[in-house]
Amino acid sequence: MMPFLTLVFTQKGLSATETGLILGWQFMVGFASRPGVAALGDKYHKHKQLLLLCSILSVCFMSAIWWVPSREHKGRYETKLMFTCSRDTEHDTKVSCFEENGTAVLTTYAGKHQF
Find the angle CA(95)-CA(100)-CA(106) to the nearest 5 degrees: 30
| Stated pTM of the model | 0.51
Of all residues in the chain, the percent with pLDDT exceeding 90 is 23
pLDDT beyond 70 at 76: no
Quick one: average pLDDT of 94-105? 65
Helix (H, G, I), strand (E, B) or coil at 53: helix
Q: Which distant-in-sequence residues (6+ apart) come within 8 Å of 48 by Cβ?
A: none
User: pLDDT band at 115, cuts 50/70/90?
Assistant: very low
